[in-house]
Amino acid sequence: MARTGGARTAAAAGLLAALLGLAAPAAAQAPTVDVPVTFSVRSLLPGAAFSVTGTLPGGTADAGRALELYEQRAPFPAAYALASTGAAGAAGEFTFTVSPVRKAYWAVVAPPTATRPREASTGFLVAVRRKVSIRTSTRRPRKAALVRFSGFVSPSFPLGPDSVATLQRRNARGGFDNVRSVRLRAAGAFSSYRLRLRLGVSGVFRVVVPSSTFFSTGASVAVTLRIRRR
């Protein structure tokens, strides 16, 4: 994802305007972005679902109004495509539930009616990240003992220079520092990793994999390893 968030938002808005087929003068070509939306999550694992909720500005005057949910799916740039349709409730409220297959931008559009103009939300990115498991040969190693870390990555990661799993250790500020990286291996529908580390002090560790064309950065749960004194 080489573009900045601002550039991505601008591109998303431009594509949304294009799909709406606006023919107004240049100064008025962008749709009215006045539909506030809320996402239940902005990052999730493959197969999980999220919801997009909101209320149309017209409130009860928009009861039953037709609605459309659009998706701009990776790879970017790409055109927005109609993903789902629905209708506003009695107070103009709406909910869309989606199970995405890859990272994408999402926007809600209310087509024009006899009494209301076309309205739309901003496009928002929802990240779909790979699932990363983590196993250790022990959680209570002796000092200076070798500990083996292993696990699987799902969906599989395309093999190449960037297909690596990185072991990280939690630092004093609560973030994570890179410790060691290894190449991922093909394992059918999954990718796998295995590495060893000689542990001198206790610590909290996790394994991360980088983002790719279709998925965002994935990370395992954090595990605590405590040095055994005897």
Are 36 and 72 members of one domain?
yes
End-to-end CA distance of the chain: 48
Q: Residue written as tokens 């209320």?
A: 55
Considering the domain architecture, whether residues 24 and 110 belong to the same structural domain is answered as: yes
What's the token pair of residue 193?
A: 């990793």
Say if residue 82 is in the same domain as residue 185: no
Q: How far is CA 97 from CA 19, 86, 102, 140, 178, in A?
A: 22, 11, 15, 43, 36
* Longest distance between any two alpha carbons in the chain, whole Å: 80
Under 8 Å between Cβ of 174 and 153: no
Q: Are residues 101 and 39 in the same domain?
A: yes
Same domain, 73 and 162: no
**Torsions phi, psi of 47, nearest 5?**
90, -15
Do residues 152 and 53 share a domain? no
The structure tokens listed for 6 are 């601002």
Per-residue pLDDT of the chain (230 residues), as tens digits, is: 333 344 444 444 444 444 443 322 223 334 565 899 999 999 999 999 999 999 999 999 999 999 999 999 999 988 999 999 999 999 999 999 999 999 999 999 999 999 888 999 999 999 999 999 999 999 999 999 999 999 999 999 988 888 999 999 999 999 999 999 999 999 889 999 999 999 999 999 999 999 999 999 999 999 999 998 76
- pTM of the predicted protein model: 0.78
14 and 45 co-located in one domain: yes
Q: How many residues comprise the chain?
A: 230
Q: Choose among 68, 155, 51, 55: nearest CA to 112.
A: 68
Q: Which residues of 42-60 are buried (b: 16+ CB within 10 A; e: fewer)?
A: ebbebeeebebebbbebee
Tell me, yes or no, whether 65 and 172 share the same domain: no
Residue 21 lies in a domain: yes
If asked whether residues 137 and 111 sit together in one domain, one would say no
Which of the listed residues 103, 128, 153 is the one where a domain comes to its end?
128
Residues near 135 by beta carbon (within 8 Å), at least 6 away in sequence: 149, 150, 151
Cα separation, 122 vs 36, whole angstroms: 8
Final residue before a domain boundary, out of 104, 128, 152: 128
Picking from 99, 128, 157, the residue at the C-terminal end of a domain is 128
pLDDT at 205: 98
- Residue position matching structure tokens 């002090």: 201
Number of domains into which the chain is organized: 2
Would 207 be classed as within a structural domain? yes
In this structure, what CATH number is given to the domain that contains residue 14?
2.60.40.10
The reply to whether 86 and 16 lie within a common domain is yes
Please state whether beta strands 176-183 and 131-132 pair in parallel, antiparallel, or not at all (unpaired): unpaired
SS3 93: strand
CB within 8 Å of 128: residues ≥ 6 apart: 43, 44, 45, 46, 100, 101, 102, 103, 104, 214, 215, 216
Structural domain range at position 156: 131-225
Q: What are phi and psi of 25, to 5 degrees?
A: -55, 160
Phi-psi region of 136 (alpha: psi -120 to 50; beta: other; left: phi over 0): beta
Torsion of CA 1, 182, 168, 191, to 10 degrees: 70
Q: Which tokens belong to 107?
A: 């926007």
